[in-house]
């Protein structure tokens, strides 16, 4: 379960998130809607610890750790492909962040490309 308690976030003097409280139970799908600039991305960046924030965010009762990244998929809204890398290099890099070795990636790649 993801729990967000008393989350406040400011960029300089500009406060973006105001005392956010919610929980997302395991197995449930939760959508977040809001006007442009209302803070949706900032909320996700806080959950993933991409930015510093005030408040408490826990996943299954503990603070978000590097191990938890393996159970989270995050699709950024911006394109985040690296134009100077080949497809193989790109896939290898992303897979390496998940702990896969380059040789493993190479042998799996054909299969994934077919899909």
Ligand X SMILES: Nc1ncnc2c1ncn2[C@@H]1O[C@H](COP(=O)(O)OP(=O)(O)OP(=O)(O)O)[C@@H](O)[C@H]1O
Q: Give 21's strand partners.
A: none
Using rule CB under 5 A, residue 44 touches Mg ion: no
Using rule CB under 6 A, residue 11 touches ligand X: yes
CA-derived radius of gyration, the chain = 17
| Residue 74 to residue 94: CA distance in whole angstroms | 12
Residue 51 contacts residue 9 (beta carbons within 8 Å): yes
Using rule CB under 5 A, residue 41 touches Mg ion: yes
Question: Least CB distance from residue 84 to ligand X, whole Å?
Answer: 25
Shorter beta-carbon distance to Mg ion: residue 34 or 99: 34
| Residue 100 to residue 96: CA distance in whole angstroms | 5
* Binding to ligand X in span 25-64, by CB under 6 A: 34, 36-42
Shorter beta-carbon distance to ligand X: residue 9 or 91: 9
How many residues belong to the site for ligand X (CB under 6 A)?
10
Question: Least CB distance from residue 6 to Mg ion, whole Å?
Answer: 22
| Residue 33 to residue 51: CA distance in whole angstroms | 20
Which residues make up the interface to ligand X (CB under 6 A)?
11, 16, 34, 36-42
């Amino acid at each position: 379960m993801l729990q967000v308690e008393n989350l406040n976030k400011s960029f300089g003097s500009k406060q973006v998130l105001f005392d956010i409280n919610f929980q997302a139970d395991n197995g449930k799908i939760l959508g977040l809607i809001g006007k442009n600039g209302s803070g949706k991305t900032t909320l996700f960046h806080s959950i993933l610890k991409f930015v510093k924030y005030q408040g408490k965010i826990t996943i299954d009762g503990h603070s978000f750790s590097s191990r938890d990244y393996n159970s989270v998929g995050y699709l950024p809204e911006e394109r985040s492909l690296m134009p100077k890398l080949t497809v193989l290099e790109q896939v290898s890099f992303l897979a390496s962040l998940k702990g896969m070795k380059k040789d493993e990636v190479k042998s799996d790649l054909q299969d994934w490309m077919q899909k």
